[in-house]
Amino acid sequence: MIQKAHVGVGISGVEGLQAACASDYSIAQFRYLLRLLFVHGSWNYSRMCKLILYSFYKNICLYVIELWFAIYSGWSGQILFERWTIGLYNVLFTAAPPFAIGIVEKVCSADIMLKYPKLYGPRASSFSVTTFWVWIGNAMVHSILLFWLAMLAVNHEVLWGNGRDGGYLMLGNMVYTYTVTTVCLKAGLHTAFWSIFTHLSIWGSILAWLIVIVIYSHVYPLLPIGEAMAGMDKICFSSFYFWLGLICIPVGILIPDLSLIV
């Protein structure tokens, strides 16, 4: 039985703690097994499914954009995003939503899970081959829209009334901002339980990027990094098209997702 089981549950009792210490989960009394399976088991299954799928989604959204830019630039080898922003994408700007999904997400309350135990069963509807490829396809479509809609917004690279153009890095920061916003809001669409931590992880991640772009734009020449980003905050924030795209592009991209969920 021990060799065939996927998860071991040990019950501490008068016989000792040997089985409890060797198990994956330990409970004090047998009556706690019901809540462990139908409440925490269901929550854990839902969290892990969403966490895995969302992790693939958010990485495809950003990094496949470099493929579309490579096609647009004639395979020049030029990258669209500033190097440090690429590295901080998973470390800082989209790190919190996966934690919120994996720690505090709840598909239903504990009372409902105990009342309707069929909600937790071997249906594999939350994570299957079909579900996986739907998420991958969704991420690919979003990466296409994030890049090409931003390209349309900066048509002829004229972003100000006086005819100034922003250059490729202005486009890169616009696309990066829209990607971070879309990815964070996507986590919100698939969140059933909104806690304070959930709000902080989603809205705080978006705000963190806007704050970092302000700080990073003034790092050079104090530090020998980010020379290309010098003054980028004023360039981005002074453009009407930047703010218009920040509202319209993420919302427009996620409306079909919202309609499917509802």
The domain locations on the chain are: 34-261
**In terms of pTM, does the model score above 0.85?**
yes
pLDDT level of residue 112 (50, 70, 90 thresholds) = confident
Taking 70 as the threshold, does the pLDDT of residue 230 lie above it? yes
pLDDT of residue 159: 65
Q: Lowest-confidence range among 83-97, 104-118, 129-143?
A: 104-118
Taking 80 as the threshold, does the pLDDT of residue 163 lie above it? no
Contact 193, 105 (CB under 8 A): yes
C-alpha 103: how far from chain center: 14
pLDDT in tens, 67-76: 999 999 999 9
Handedness of CA 87, 239, 182, 157 (dihedral sign): negative
pLDDT level of residue 8 (50, 70, 90 thresholds) = confident
pLDDT of residue 32: 81
pLDDT level of residue 20 (50, 70, 90 thresholds) = confident
